[in-house]
């Protein structure tokens, strides 16, 4: 039997709709106030380190090579064409070993011309000595003849004085005048001999100087000819010599480097931003991949090149297998900081800056970003000034992908 239903009242329907709307708004507001679930990161992909307090060793590191402390650079003295290359890089040589033979006909011609000029000057010197000596002897003969004539005139004047009663005054006067004349001539000829002797010394000296200059030129030209055979100049091992027969070389061209036997040194290239604290005598460790050699800084380049500074390290020990041009890594100890907070150097952030680091929760299942003030840095560690405490564990691997999050889950 059908039962007649009465329609619901309109007021109740409105109340139901209003209640549902208010409930929906409340749920929406509550959901909007809930934090988004933090992203998850794999623990195996993270580098986690613990903050420690104690002594922190500041170090800087850079790549480099081993080089001999003494290297002789061999270059050409004069231009020439390569005739023969007698040794190759890696060969052991002594000072007198011929590395390269060059040829240059012009150099040989100049040497012959210089020798010819020297021979001519030496012949001229011999002829000059002969002529001057002959003239001096002739003058000595003139002086001797004049002296003899003077003595005879003097004797005649004395005789005339004794016969003054027999001779006229005119004859006596002539005898005395003749003596005075010959005395004057003898004095003049003697002076002429003295001047001639002094002049002989000066002329011979000038010619001897000319001969000496030409002899030096000959020696120089002979040295140029000898330099066509390029010698090693020192005992050692030949390095960096790449020449081909027929190649033309200009004066001063570097032919080879001869590494002289002895101690090796390490030349490191340190980034210029890290080189400001390097000082002479700071201790250093050189890693040759076959072992560690201790050393100390003994020279620092005054200027940077390509963003790095050259630092030369004197090695305090030797290591088997170490050889020139071997690639190495060097670590220089800058200073030791006493009683400081430090942690492993993160892959982000620079010294003396503030960065955000994720600190792990006590249970290790999550991490929260904290602002950390960094201090002085080293190769693998960095000083903590503010933001962390001893035993705090932080993520030091790259977390740039989580820059928009304040928390992460670690699993």
Sheet holding 71-75, edge to edge: 71-75, 254-259, 236-239, 92-93
Please tell me whether residues 88 and 48 are part of one structural domain: no
The H or E element that residue 17 is part of is helix 10-33
In this predicted structure, what is the pLDDT of residue 236? Answer: 85
Tell me: do 147 and 203 sit in the same domain.
Answer: yes
Q: Which of 380, 405, 395 is nearest to 42 (CA)?
A: 395
For residue 403, what is the domain's CATH number? 2.40.420
Do 135 and 188 share a structural domain? yes
Residues 231 and 98: their CA atoms lie apart, in Å, by: 4
User: Domain range spanning residue 216?
Assistant: 106-220
The single-letter DSSP state of residue 211 is H
pLDDT on residue 388: 93
Coil, strand or helix: which one is 64? strand
Asked if residue 156 belongs to a domain, the reply is: yes
Contact in structure between 353 and 374 (CB atoms under 8 Å): yes
The pair of structure tokens assigned to 2 is: 């059908």
pLDDT at 35: 53
Structure confidence at residue 270 (pLDDT): 92
Which of the listed residues 220, 250, 281 is the one where a domain comes to its end? 220
Please report whether residue 168 resides in a domain: yes
Which pLDDT score is estimated for 34? Answer: 47
Query: Do both 117 and 139 map to the same domain?
Result: yes
Task: Give the Cα-Cα-Cα angle 205, 211, 213 (nearest 5 degrees).
Answer: 105
Long-range contacts of the stretch 147-153 (C-beta < 8 A, 24+): 147/186, 149/182, 149/185, 149/186, 150/179, 150/182, 150/183, 150/185, 150/186, 153/178, 153/179, 153/181, 153/182
Check if the beta carbon of residue 97 is closer than 8 Å to that of residue 233: no
According to the model, what pLDDT value does residue 5 have?
55
CA distances from 360 to 86, 128, 344 (A): 69, 105, 15
Asked if 80 and 117 sit in the same domain, the reply is no
pLDDT at 341: 94
How many structural domains compose the chain? 3
Are 111 and 195 within one domain? yes
In terms of domains, do 350 and 400 share one? yes
List beta partners, residue 344.
381
Residue 4 lies in a domain: no
Classified as helix, coil or strand, 297 is strand
Let me know if residue 195 belongs to a domain.
Answer: yes
In a domain, residue 251? The reply is: yes
Whether residue 94 sits in one domain with residue 52: no
Positions of the chain with pLDDT lower than 50, given as ranges: 1, 34
Cα–Cα distance measured from residue 239 to residue 88, given in angstroms and rounded to the nearest whole number: 8
Q: In this structure, are 190 and 118 located in the same domain?
A: yes
128 and 196 belong to one structural domain: yes
| Same domain flag for 110 and 206 | yes
Query: Is residue 200 a part of any domain in this protein?
Result: yes
The residue whose two tokens read 């790449």 is 242
With residues binned 3-state (H G I as helix, E B as strand, rest as coil), the percentages for the chain, rounded to 5, are 35, 35, 30
Tell me, what CATH number does 100's domain have? 2.40.50.100
């Amino acid at each position: 039997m059908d039962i007649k239903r009465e329609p619901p009242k309109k007021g109740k329907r409105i109340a139901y709709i209003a209640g549902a709307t208010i409930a929906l708004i409340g749920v929406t507001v509550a959901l909007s106030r809930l934090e988004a679930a933090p992203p998850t990161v794999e623990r195996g992909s993270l580098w986690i380190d613990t903050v420690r307090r104690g002594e922190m060793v500041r170090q800087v590191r850079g790549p480099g090579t081993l080089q001999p402390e003494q290297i002789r650079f061999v270059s050409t003295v004069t231009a020439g064409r390569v005739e023969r290359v007698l040794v190759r890089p890696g060969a052991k040589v002594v000072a007198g070993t011929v590395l390269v033979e060059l040829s240059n006909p012009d150099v040989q011609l100049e040497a012959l011309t210089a020798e010819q000029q020297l021979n001519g000057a030496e012949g001229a010197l011999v002829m000059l000595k002969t002529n001057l000596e002959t003239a001096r002897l002739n003058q000595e003969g003139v002086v001797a003849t004049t002296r003899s004539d003077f003595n005879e005139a003097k004797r005649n004047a004395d005789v005339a004085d004794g016969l003054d009663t027999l001779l006229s005054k005119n004859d006596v006067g002539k005898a005395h005048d003749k003596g005075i004349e010959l005395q004057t001539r003898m004095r003049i000829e003697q002076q002429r001999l003295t001047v001639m002797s002094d002049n002989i010394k000066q002329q011979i000296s000038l010619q001897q100087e000319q001969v000496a200059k030409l002899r030096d030129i000959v020696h120089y030209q002979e040295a140029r000819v000898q330099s066509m055979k390029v010698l090693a100049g020192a005992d050692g091992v030949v390095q960096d010599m790449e020449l081909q027969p027929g190649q033309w070389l200009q004066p001063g061209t570097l032919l080879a480097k001869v590494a002289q036997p002895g101690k090796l040194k390490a030349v490191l290239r340190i980034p210029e931003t890290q080189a400001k604290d390097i000082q002479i005598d700071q201790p250093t460790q050189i890693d040759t991949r076959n072992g560690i050699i201790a050393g100390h800084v003994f020279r620092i380049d005054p200027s940077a090149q390509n963003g790095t500074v050259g630092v030369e390290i004197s090695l305090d020990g030797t290591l088997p297998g170490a050889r020139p041009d071997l690639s190495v890594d060097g670590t220089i100890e800058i200073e030791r900081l006493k009683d400081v907070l430090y942690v492993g150097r993160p892959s982000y952030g620079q010294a003396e800056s503030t960065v955000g680091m994720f600190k792990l929760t006590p249970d290790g299942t999550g991490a929260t970003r904290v602002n950390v003030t960094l201090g002085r840095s080293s190769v693998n560690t960095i000083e903590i000034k503010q933001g962390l405490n001893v035993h705090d564990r932080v993520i030091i691997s790259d977390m740039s992908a989580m820059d928009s999050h304040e928390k992460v889950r670690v699993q």
